[in-house]
Amino acid sequence: MAVVHELRRPTPTRTPIPPRPRPSKNRIAAWSTLIALLLAGMWSVADLDINIASMVQSLDNAANFASRAFPLDFPPLAELLVMTGQTLAIVVVATVLAVILSVPVAIFAASNTTSGPLMHGTARTIIVLSRAVPDLILAIIFFRLFGLGALPGILALGLHSIGMVGKLYADAIEELDGGPAEAVRATGGSRVQWITSTVIPQLMPQLIATALHRFDINLRTSVLLGYVGVGGIGLELANSLRTMQYQRGMALALIILLLCIVVEMLSGVVRSRLLGRVPARRGGALGFMDRVAAGWVTAPRGGRELQRTRGGRIRIEPQWDSDRIRRFAGVGLTVVVVALATVYADLNFSTLFEDLLKVPQVLGAFLPPSPQDLLGTLLESMLVTIQIGLAATLLGLVLALPIGILAARNVAPNARVANFFRTVIVIVRGLPELILAIVFIVITGLGPIPGTLALAIGSVGLLGKLVADSLEETDVRVQDAVRATGATRSQVFYAATFRQAAPQFIAHVLYQLDVNIRSATLLGIVGAGGIGFYLVNASRVLQFDVVAFIIVMVLVTVLAVEAVAVWTRRALR
């Protein structure tokens, strides 16, 4: 009985509480970095004089802006079509070039298709470097090398795109199912054969979707490159703003805005179809057309036996059904567009060889990098560029956090609110930062404030989307578990939803900072403050040693920011 008694009433023994593990040095350093960045962001906002008072002040300017910008002065239609065509031609050829160069780079950069550590390292270096060197800088160098024409712009956009396109392709290749490749290896296929027969076909949807995405980005950048002489609508915009023709400039800005939105919508439709996210069945007349189009030519179903042609040979061609016709039309249209763009871009290769012979001489003009007597000014404006990036990210975060949270379907009070804020995000994403910057410049005058505001609003588009996406990707079961304990809505949000998404938030904000500092160097050329202004000036007065010095400064900054961002993300994972 005593034993039973003992069992029923065990003496309460205390489970010893293990000592709280001390956070690792890396984590402490990473959190310190984040806090330092936050403080730096706050300091930048204060130092750049971005506050309510100056906003109110500029409201007067807004009224002035209206009187200066209206009525809009549109160029004649024929002229408009010519410059739009020029822009589109350059962007199409540049994007095709980027894809053609990125595929081999990505194959060597992906760990499952690379040929060895040497090529892997080389390909990864090409990707990092081509992303680090801004297209603007490439354009300046290529203009020096090849003279005026479409070629410098195409090369600048195309080569810089490898950084993003190559990386996305490499990531996509690494995620592919390796089974088919093994099957082809097992039939005796060589490396080249299994790559072209299994990797490329599997990559195809991603390949086209990424190319279209990059096309959107290149279109925006090509307008910016107008400031250094890349032809098309951007050049006209730069010229009219430089000569203070604001009515013409704002008209062109409006057209660029519409062009960007139309292109983004088109590529969005194609992308979602390619990636298998077919839109829901449409109703009414459109739905009727869809259904007719889907089955307007159907191939007769062959039997299980061999089908023979009238000549008695085995039939190995598919029938022409509507699917195949549509596919051929799509491929044909793409080929025609690319061919037209190549012709229209009017590439002149006749002097290419001579130009390439000039490379040492041109490089000589850039070397050695020297600030001349501008060292103080250059360092100061580089600092301003970094401040713009920091301040824009902080302001963007303040705006994007509530918008992103309300856009997440699993957090927003109801579906209508979520849809509304999703739409807000999509619209903001459609606005080219350059156009925002120009509008703010016309309102507030030249300086870092318009640049910061433009980038801050631009950040809302990307950061808001990333915040909403990472909230929607959280594990619902954890939220259910917390809700089951009787927690309130806001308790569920903080304890389950936000807690799960927090590491991703930090990663996204660091990525946004990286992007904003890169963009800040570029926006300087339109007069939005920072180093870009001096970059374009120096190239205009042919001080190429100064250009080279600025390039080095920008490269060091961009690579350092990226390194900090990557390291912090890893340390907090």
Partner 1 sequence: MTVAAVNQTIREPTDIRFNGVTKTFGSVTALDNVTVSFAPNKINVLLGLSGSGKSTMLRHINGLHTPSTGEVWTLGTPVHSGGSTALRRLRNDVGMIFQQFHLVESSSVLENVCTGQLGSLRGPRFGLWSYPRSVREAAMEQLARVGLADKAFQRAGSLSGGQQQRVAIARALIQRPTVLLADEPVASLDPVSSAGVIELLTQISREENLTVICSLHQVQIALAFADRIVGLNAGRVVLDRSAAGMTHDDVDGIYLAEPVDQRLAMAI
E strand or H helix that includes residue 219 = helix 200-225
For the CB of residue 479, give the shortest distance to partner 1 in the complex, in Å: 34
68 closest CA partner among 235, 236, 238, 245: 245
> If DSSP codes are grouped into helix, strand and coil, which group holds residue 370?
coil
Please compute, for residue 358, the number of CA atoms within 13 A of its CA located in the half-sphere on the CB side. 15
> If DSSP codes are grouped into helix, strand and coil, which group holds residue 314?
strand
Q: 429: how many CB neighbours lie within 10 A of its CB? A: 15
Please compute, for residue 56, the number of CA atoms within 13 A of its CA located in the half-sphere on the CB side. 3
Of 111, 115, 272, 307, the one binding partner 1 by CB under 8 A: 307
Q: Is the torsion defined by CA of 306, 307, 313, 314 positive or negative?
A: negative
Binding range to partner 1, per CB under 8 A, among 45-53, 183-191, 374-382, 531-539: 183-191
Of 130, 202, 267, 512, the one binding partner 1 by CB under 8 A: 202
- Is 85 a binding residue for partner 1 by CB under 8 A? The answer is no
- Is 305 a binding residue for partner 1 by CB under 8 A? The answer is yes
For the CB of residue 185, give the shortest distance to partner 1 in the complex, in Å: 6
Q: Which is nearer to partner 1, 202 or 385 (CB)?
A: 202
According to DSSP, the residues that pair with 308 across neighbouring strands are 314
462 closest CA partner among 417, 418, 497, 510: 510
Q: How far is CA 95 from CA 90, 201, 215, 557, in A?
A: 9, 20, 6, 27
* Contacts of partner 1 in 338-357 (CB under 8 A): none
- Residues 546, 495: Cα–Cα separation, whole Å: 53
- Is 304 a binding residue for partner 1 by CB under 8 A? The answer is yes
- Is 277 a binding residue for partner 1 by CB under 8 A? The answer is no
Of 17, 56, 78, 316, the one binding partner 1 by CB under 8 A: 316
Q: Which amino acid is at 202?
A: Q
Of 81, 100, 183, 286, the one binding partner 1 by CB under 8 A: 183
Of 15, 187, 350, 488, the one binding partner 1 by CB under 8 A: 187
Of 192, 280, 415, 484, the one binding partner 1 by CB under 8 A: 192
For the CB of residue 166, give the shortest distance to partner 1 in the complex, in Å: 20
Q: Which is nearer to partner 1, 7 or 314 (CB)?
A: 314
Q: Which two tokens stand for residue 104?
A: 């081999």
- Is 60 a binding residue for partner 1 by CB under 8 A? The answer is no
Binding range to partner 1, per CB under 8 A, among 16-24, 298-306, 464-472, 517-525: 298-306
Q: Is the torsion defined by CA of 376, 133, 386, 542 positive or negative?
A: positive
End-to-end CA distance of the chain: 55
Specify whether the backbone of 300 is left (phi greater than 0), alpha (psi in -120 to 50) or beta: beta
- Is 182 a binding residue for partner 1 by CB under 8 A? The answer is yes
Binding range to partner 1, per CB under 8 A, among 227-235, 300-308, 359-367, 438-446: 300-308
Q: Which is nearer to partner 1, 305 or 373 (CB)?
A: 305
Of 52, 306, 415, 484, the one binding partner 1 by CB under 8 A: 306
- Is 376 a binding residue for partner 1 by CB under 8 A? The answer is no
- Is 268 a binding residue for partner 1 by CB under 8 A? The answer is no
- Is 278 a binding residue for partner 1 by CB under 8 A? The answer is no
Q: Which is nearer to partner 1, 85 or 180 (CB)?
A: 180
For the CB of residue 305, give the shortest distance to partner 1 in the complex, in Å: 6
- Is 198 a binding residue for partner 1 by CB under 8 A? The answer is yes
Binding range to partner 1, per CB under 8 A, among 126-134, 159-167, 185-193, 383-391: 185-193
Please compute, for residue 294, the number of CA atoms within 13 A of its CA located in the half-sphere on the CB side. 8
> If DSSP codes are grouped into helix, strand and coil, which group holds residue 149?
coil
Cis peptide before 71 (omega within 30 of 0): yes
Angle between helices 531-540 and 544-572 (to 10 degrees): 150
Q: Which amino acid is at 67?
A: S
x-or-dash string of contact with partner 1, 216-255, rule CB under 8 A? ----------------------------------------
For the CB of residue 179, give the shortest distance to partner 1 in the complex, in Å: 4
- Is 318 a binding residue for partner 1 by CB under 8 A? The answer is yes
Q: Which is nearer to partner 1, 299 or 556 (CB)?
A: 299
Binding range to partner 1, per CB under 8 A, among 78-86, 96-104, 224-232, 311-319: 311-319
- Residues 309, 156: Cα–Cα separation, whole Å: 52
Find out whether 96 and 178 touch, Cβ atoms under 8 Å: no
x-or-dash string of contact with partner 1, 138-177, rule CB under 8 A? ---------------------------------------x
87 closest CA partner among 252, 209, 331, 265: 252
Which letter does DSSP use for residue 524 in this model?
G
- Is 327 a binding residue for partner 1 by CB under 8 A? The answer is no
364 closest CA partner among 119, 141, 60: 141
Of 16, 179, 279, 368, the one binding partner 1 by CB under 8 A: 179
Please tell me the count of residues contacting partner 1 according to CB under 8 A. 38
| Burial track 179-203 (b if 16+ CB lie within 10 A, e otherwise) | eebeebeeeebeeeebbebbbeebb
- Residues 234, 241: Cα–Cα separation, whole Å: 11
- Is 205 a binding residue for partner 1 by CB under 8 A? The answer is yes
- Is 7 a binding residue for partner 1 by CB under 8 A? The answer is no
- Is 380 a binding residue for partner 1 by CB under 8 A? The answer is no
Residues near partner 1 (CB under 8 A) are: 177, 179-180, 182-190, 192-198, 200-202, 204-205, 299, 301-307, 313-316, 318-319
